[in-house]
Amino acid sequence: MNKISFKNYRLFDLAVFSILLAVFEVIAVRAVSWFGELYSISLFLAISLLVMMRWGAWSAVTIVAGALAFCWANGAVLENYVVYVAGNLFLLFNLFWFLLGKDRIRQGYFSALFVLSGYLLTEFGRAVVSVFFGNRFFSAFIGFLGTDALNLLLALLVVWIAKRQNGLFEDQISYLKRTQEEERKGNEV
């Protein structure tokens, strides 16, 4: 059996999640006009945090892909691209949670705090960047918090479900080592 290299596995995994996020973002934006709704439901936070748990800082690839797809689907101007791309990258501050250990974040209330802080960091980042375009920080921050509140609940649900799936909300190096060890033990028996 041909084995895929670790770099190719990571590249494929990042590409799949980035494409999924981009497609979901475009559909979410288009669905607003299709169904005459005011708010869209986005998987941005959920997928970005899954990829962050899997690959750490490499999640920047997915974060940028999601922001670009969202802006493109909205027919955004350059200012919106800057606000969403740069603002969404504040989500990378969530990497500090990994100082506690990824296994700890996967358990109990730490995963909920991981999602909540990701939500707050993203909204904070967008508000900070929007200040450079003449917006008031507090108004922008409250506006972003309000429009994405439902997405926070969705992200909490997705992460809760993902934690129960083998390897989905798990550091992929640890996951691959664990599955190789299990495979090796299975072959010895």
| 8 A C-beta contact, residue 17 and residue 47 | yes
Q: With respect to residue 128, please indicate whether it lies within any of the assigned structural domains.
A: yes
Predicted confidence (pLDDT) per residue in 47-100, tens digit:
999 999 999 999 999 999 999 999 999 999 999 999 999 999 999 999 999 999
Which domain CATH number covers 146? 1.10.1760
> What pTM was estimated for this model as a whole?
0.92
Ramachandran sector of residue 76 (left: φ over 0; alpha: ψ -120 to 50; beta: rest): beta
41, part of any domain: yes
Asked if residue 75 belongs to a domain, the reply is yes
The pLDDT tens digits of the residues spanning 10-60 come to 999 999 999 999 999 999 988 887 777 766 789 999 999 999 999 999 999
Domain count, the chain: 1
- DSSP three-state, residue 2: coil
Residue 95 in contact with residue 55, Cβ under 8 Å?
A: no
Domain enclosing residue 46, as ranges: 6-188
Return d(Cα 121, Cα 63) in angstroms, integer.
Answer: 13
